[in-house]
Amino acid sequence: MRTDEFDYHLPPELIAQKPVEPRDASRLMVLNRADGSITHRIFREIGAYLRPGDLLVLNESRVIPARLFARKVPTGGRVEMLLLNPEGEDGRWRVLVKGRRVRPGTRLALTAGPEPESPTIDVEATVVAEGERGERVVVFSRPVETFLEQVGVIPLPPYIHEPLADPERYQTVYARRPGSVAAPTAGLHFTPELLLSLREQGVQFAYVTLHIGLDTFRPVSTERVENHKMHSEWCRLSPETASLINRAKLEGRRVVAVGTTAVRVLETAAQRALAQCGGEACAWQAVVAFEGATDLFITPGYRFRAVDALITNFHLPRSTLLMLVAAFAGLDLIRRAYAEAIARRYRFYSFGDAMLIL
């Protein structure tokens, strides 16, 4: 497919700059794949479309304060770093760098904040390799976990230009496993009260982990979709969660993925189950437990084996996330839904409104 088939024009004022309050007051567009209908609700009303026995699968990854600030040694030139992912066990990290002439061999002294007068702290980073698009590999003199919470800042996506008064609003209420540099935004709409209400309704919950990287926001730059190299992200699906999913599938209950990250974990686990069964579906095993990287790239034509319904936000044009949603709902229905969302002034992207695809 051509990448431009996933392009659309969004008026800039529809890019949400702040989250709504409370979380579940965002709008909800409901797409029915069976009849192509589109319904407009409020997110707190999502229980009207969920059934007792539905299994909601949520990504419990927590955003880390991945923005760091430093000065070059000995010149004092200011540098900003965004942690992307660890590169082994020796303190190496792949980072995105903003600064002049940050070449291999450059030593960086970390500072306590972004202000020019911020004092340095007892941590250095040495650049050991240079990549594309501002990426570097650096080695920290101390483990990141020992200083990140004290001097790091929660990163926001590049299309959000207003500061966030409460950093916890860029975390889901169930986030507990640090590792992401961006939030699994479909889950931002849930409040503790809504989760409790759904549980009392008979909806069940299971948790997976996928640590989201910066590549999530990068548009596909190749002319043809199949030529895009999908980024890899670390994820985990526990034996307990695998058991809950397999039981739900055996009993004919729906597995509802909360976010595209949950979809990637579930469908990676389903692909692994398929491989274990010799390429044919096993009636007793829809998914298998696993821990490791996934680079699964889901585009139209993909056959979903684990996910029956999807809660998601409105995604950037030409993004792998939009391609995944189009694969699940059908490209024509997604085009129509996005056009209607723009016409009705829905809020888009991370702090925007939500979509439920049944």
Number of domains forming the structure of the chain: 2
Q: Where is the domain boundary, 127, 151, 175?
A: 151
- What mean pLDDT is reported for the chain? 94
Residue 270 has pLDDT above 90, yes or no: yes
* Separation of alpha carbons 316 and 118, rounded Å: 35
Domain of 282, CATH number, reads 3.40.1780.10
Q: At residue 217, does pLDDT exceed 70?
A: no
Within this chain, do residues 270 and 345 fall inside the same structural domain, yes or no?
A: yes
Residue 214 has pLDDT above 90, yes or no: no
DSSP string, 101-119: ---TT-EEEEESSSSTTPP
Q: Are residues 237 and 352 in the same domain?
A: yes
Residue 221 and residue 263 in one domain: yes
Tell how many helices (H) and how many strands (E) occur in the chain: 6, 17
pLDDT digits (tens, 9 = 90+) for 335-345: 999 999 999 99
**Average pLDDT score over residue span 249-269:** 97
40: which residues sit within 8 A by CB, 6+ positions away? 27, 28, 29, 30, 344
Regarding whether 187 and 46 lie in a shared domain, the answer is yes
Residue 159 lies in a domain: no
Crossing angle for the helix pair 320-329 and 260-276, to the nearest 10 degrees: 70
Residues 285, 177, single domain; the answer is yes
Q: Which amino acid is at 44?
A: R
- Cβ 264 vs Cβ 298: under 8 Å: yes
44 and 175 both lie in a single domain: yes
For residue 161, being part of any structural domain is answered with no
Residue span of the structural domain in which 282 resides: 3-63+166-357
pLDDT higher than 70, residue 255:
yes
Q: Are residues 203 and 136 in the same domain?
A: no
In a domain? residue 71: yes
Same domain, 49 and 146: no
pLDDT value of residue 177: 96
Task: List, for residues 109-119, the tens digit of each pLDDT value.
Answer: 999 988 888 99
Instruction: Specify if 116 maps to a domain.
Output: yes
Least confident of 90-99, 267-276, 297-306: 90-99
pLDDT in tens, 11-35: 999 999 999 999 999 999 999 999 9
In a domain, 47, yes or no: yes
Asked if residue 102 lies in contact with residue 127, where contact means CB atoms within 8 angstroms, the answer is: yes
Q: What does the pLDDT average to over 209-236?
A: 88
74 upstream amide cis, omega within 30 of 0: yes
Token reading at 306? 């684990």
Within this chain, do residues 181 and 295 fall inside the same structural domain, yes or no? yes
Q: Which of 87-91, 146-150, 287-291, 323-327 has the lowest mean pLDDT?
A: 87-91
Any idea what the CATH number is for the domain that residue 108 is in? 2.40.10.240
Bridge-based pairing of strands 255-258 and 233-237 is unpaired
Q: What percent of the chain has pLDDT over 70?
A: 99
Q: Is residue 124 part of a domain?
A: yes
- Contact, 347 vs 19, CB < 8 A? no
Q: What is the pLDDT of residue 280?
A: 74
Q: What angle do CA 329, 233, 28 make, to 5 degrees?
A: 35
Q: Is 46 a member of any domain?
A: yes
State whether 334 and 207 are in the same domain: yes
Query: Are 109 and 144 members of one domain?
Result: yes
Q: What is the pLDDT of residue 232?
A: 86
